[in-house]
Every structure is written in C-alpha cells, then in structure tokens.
Amino acid sequence: MVVSIGDSPVTDFLPPTVHTDKNGWIEADEAGHTSDPKIYAIGDATRLGLVTHAIGQGRKAAMAVHALLSGRSYYMPAPKPVIPYDKIKTAYYDVCRGEPFKPETEANRCMSCAVCRDCRMCEATCYYGAISRQESGDGSYAYVVDDALCIGCGFCAGICPCGVWEMEDNI
C-alpha cells in the first residue's frame, strides 16, 4: 500500500511492531525498512521533505522490496553527490510554468532534484567528443572529460540544466 499524505503521518493503523519517534514519524532506514520486516516507510511518513526526496526514497524502497521478494540481499547504492541549488539553471524549467496538469506529460517535468539527470546533452553537444559516459559495474555512471580532446568551448557548461559542468580559467 502506498499512502501519499504531505503532512504528519497517521500511524494508528500500523501494528505495534512498527516504531515511531517521539514526534510521531515512522522510524526507517534509507531503504525504507522499518522495525517490522514487512513494512516500509518513506517520504513524509518518516520526516518532512521535498517531493524529489520522496521519489528517491520510493525508488530505494522498491528495490529493497524487489530484493526481498526475489530472495536476494539488498545493498544500498552509493549516493550521488548533490549539486548546490544555486548552480541549477532555472531557465530550463520555465517551460513547466503555467501549463495545465496533464498526466501524459507530468513525468517529463523536472523537479530539480539537484543530481545529474543523465540527459546526455553535454555528451551530444561536445563537437570534439571530449565527454564520454562511463558506467561502473554497480550500475552507476560518470561523465568524464578527455583533456586531450577538450578545447574549453564551454558548450557543456552552457547546455547542462543541472549545473554539473563548470568552466575554470586556464592560468
């Protein structure tokens, strides 16, 4: 069952095996595990946060539930570094303002989670092919610059909606 509340949780329907803190928030780890192995809690049920936090926690909890049902152990992927909000280019999100809500297009909206969206725009924009996407064995990825090919044009920094790329002066 998924309950989306956006407020303090109502926990009176939970069994006594699920622990809450003194403020009424359900105690859970990063994957949503509670003190009851069959109950997961994420988002505003555990603490107040942003919708992007709840979405990320939902994905982790879904992977943990899948591992449980598959009979495998679950390991927590390494967290991606968060990009400071002042580096995010808000001009890319202006298209969302004033649009009516349509379920067909809602998934395409960015909610500024401040991590690389893996849109590959930097890679596609680099005329000299200096940027490549490298995958790790654990499913994570990184965008890497080949200094021998990079001419310092700044197109990658200009196109990135998340502010991942920064230009530095050659001194």
pLDDT for 171 equals 62
Please state, rounded to an integer, the average pLDDT across all residues of the chain.
79
Last residue of a domain, one of 50, 76, 102: 76
Task: Encode pLDDT of 88-99 as tens digits.
Answer: 666 655 555 556
Number of domains the chain is built from: 2
Residue 70 confidence (pLDDT) above 70:
yes
Which among 70, 73, 36, 28 is positioned nearest to 53, based on CA atoms? Answer: 28
Q: Give the CATH number of the domain where residue 155 resides.
A: 3.30.70
Domain closes at, from 22, 45, 76: 76
CA pair distance 37, 30, nearest whole angstrom:
14
Instruction: Write the pLDDT tens digit of every residue in 10-22.
Output: 888 899 999 999 8
Asked, for residue 151, whether it belongs to a domain, the answer is yes
Which residues contact residue 109 at a Cβ distance below 8 angstroms, ignoring those fewer than 6 apart? 96
| Domain assignment of residue 28, given as a range | 1-76
Residues 26 and 96 in one domain: no
Q: Does a structural domain hold residue 165?
A: no
pTM (2 d.p.)? 0.51
- Using alpha carbons only, give the angle 57, 60, 65 rounded to the nearest 5 degrees: 120
